[in-house]
Amino acid sequence: MQKKPFITSRQAEEIAAQYPTPFYLYDEAGLRRNCEAIREAFAWNPGFREFFAVKATPNPCLMQIMREYDFGFDCSSDAELLLSRAVGADGAHIMYSSNDTPENEFAIAAELGAIINLDDITMIEHVEHALGGKFPETMCCRYNPGGVFRMSNGIMDNPGDSKYGMTRAQMSEAFRRLKEKGVRSFGIHAFLASNTVTNEYYPELAGQLFALATELQSETGARITFINLSGGVGIPYTPEQAPNDIRAIGEGVRRRFEEILVPAGMGDVVIYTEMGRFVTGPYGALVTKAINEKHIYKEYIGVDACAANLMRPAMYGAYHHITVLGKEEEFPDHRYDIVGSLCENNDKFAVDRELPEIAMGDFLFIHDAGAHGFSMGYNYNGKRWCAELLLKEDGTVQQIRRAQTLRDYFATLDSTLYYERLV
């Protein structure tokens, strides 16, 4: 599969004339198509809702687009909760899934009417303390089966080494305790593998959670009203990978639903998902410009972005495909390391990458940066966050977050004297 950028070299030049590189650019048309596909894939389940993982791309403009498709928002901090409220989400459209949670954030979630998803059984006491002993009528618990998670194509991930979720015995105990404290409606949540590029993952996970739901409802008498399949549905970062088919995934979940839950008299259970990467990942790119070249033991191209703008390659060794705009049809007969300017040798977007010859001033389009890209940015070496832009359906470009300035960077210093000298 060939990865194609959603802008041309000419468009990049026109955009950069108003908004200097580097910048993140999001494709509104692609995002909308994907939101509609997700909604259609699970339309068989009345009440289905996607709770977009805000941590992936916390921009209110993009979240507002998702609201048009009745998406909710999965939050893991007070900032994400307040951002969700700011775009108009009510409690039924907010899921609070955190871990190692400060008590004050439980209070904020409860005030918003959000569905609280408990990561650990010890959190029951913290919720009780934070809410003055009054529990919400609806709560969710996160399950961790331990061991390794396997599918037909082998080991997918290692839940037993994950800090998240409760054991099977703790799930049962948590449901009993919460029921005693007045909770009337229960949900189950689990995340067993990250960035899976297979249509089998969600149906396999669903089968396990549906079976668990029937057991827990029988054991505890708790009324289970929803099951949250969480995230884990990935995207193909490399051109060789085939993308997931969300409609095939939805159909696979439907079959497990009818095999397990319907015969158990639980055919009214609602399915939730909380995808982040799958929703926005392919529809965002980091656009940067070649500004330096270095010829020593290897060939280096220096760009005006760095790992502070997109840390995944430096942090995980993650692959992000790169297109040299305007040279899409040229033969990749040069081998480069594409690097930023941080004082860290892992500040590399690509290592030994075969690309067409790059000239200074060329625009590089770094694909699949629409999730966990901008949101993982940082300020090492005094680098500032870049702008976020939206390529609208009509072809115009809207700035949806301005670039951070030196004034922004220094604004949190306590000393007025130093602040005035610096800016």
In this prediction, residue 146 carries a pLDDT of 81
Largest separation between any pair of C-alpha atoms in the chain: 72
Question: What is the rounded distance in angstroms from the CA atom of residue 394 to the CA atom of residue 339?
Answer: 34
Could you give all domains of the chain from N- to C-terminal order, each with its CATH number? 28-281 (3.20.20.10), 283-410 (2.40.37.10)
Do 350 and 336 form a contact (C-beta atoms < 8 A)? Answer: yes
Do 347 and 341 form a contact (C-beta atoms < 8 A)? Answer: yes
**pLDDT at position 419 over 60:** no
In degrees and rounded to multiples of 5, residue 166 shows phi and psi of -110, 155
**pLDDT at position 152 over 60:** no
* Confidence class for position 159, pLDDT limits 50, 70, 90: confident
CA distances to 104, 248, 277, 336 from 295, rounded to whole Å, are 54, 48, 36, 10
Over residues 255-273, the mean pLDDT reads 98
In this prediction, residue 93 carries a pLDDT of 98
Over residues 69-89, the mean pLDDT reads 97
Over residues 74-81, the mean pLDDT reads 97
Q: What is the pLDDT of residues 233-261, one digit of tens each?
A: 999 999 999 999 999 999 999 999 999 99
CA distances to 26, 121, 287, 341, 357 from 290, rounded to whole Å, are 21, 51, 10, 12, 11
Which of 36-50, 277-291, 347-361, 406-420 shows the lowest mean pLDDT across its residues?
A: 406-420
Q: Provide the CB-side half-sphere exposure for 301 (13 A, CA).
A: 28
Write down the residue that tokens 């040229």 correspond to. 330
Which of 8-17, 297-306, 396-405, 411-420 shows the lowest mean pLDDT across its residues?
A: 411-420
DSSP bridge pairs for 149: 157
Which of 100-104, 149-153, 243-247, 292-296 shows the lowest mean pLDDT across its residues?
A: 149-153
Amino acid at 336: Y
* Confidence class for position 353, pLDDT limits 50, 70, 90: very high
Over residues 121-130, the mean pLDDT reads 96
The length of the chain in residues reads 423
**pLDDT at position 158 over 90:** no
Q: Which residues contact 265 (CB under 8 A, 6 or more apart)?
A: none
* Confidence class for position 153, pLDDT limits 50, 70, 90: low
Question: What is the rounded distance in angstroms from the CA atom of residue 12 to the CA atom of residue 389?
Answer: 12
**pLDDT at position 147 over 90:** no
In this prediction, residue 203 carries a pLDDT of 96
Over residues 98-125, the mean pLDDT reads 96
- For Cα atoms 369, 359, 298, give the angle at the middle one, nearest 5 degrees: 80
Q: What is the pTM of this model?
A: 0.95
**pLDDT at position 183 over 90:** yes
Question: What is the rounded distance in angstroms from the CA atom of residue 187 to the CA atom of residue 107?
Answer: 19
CA-wise closest residue to 192 among 243, 224, 234, 135: 234
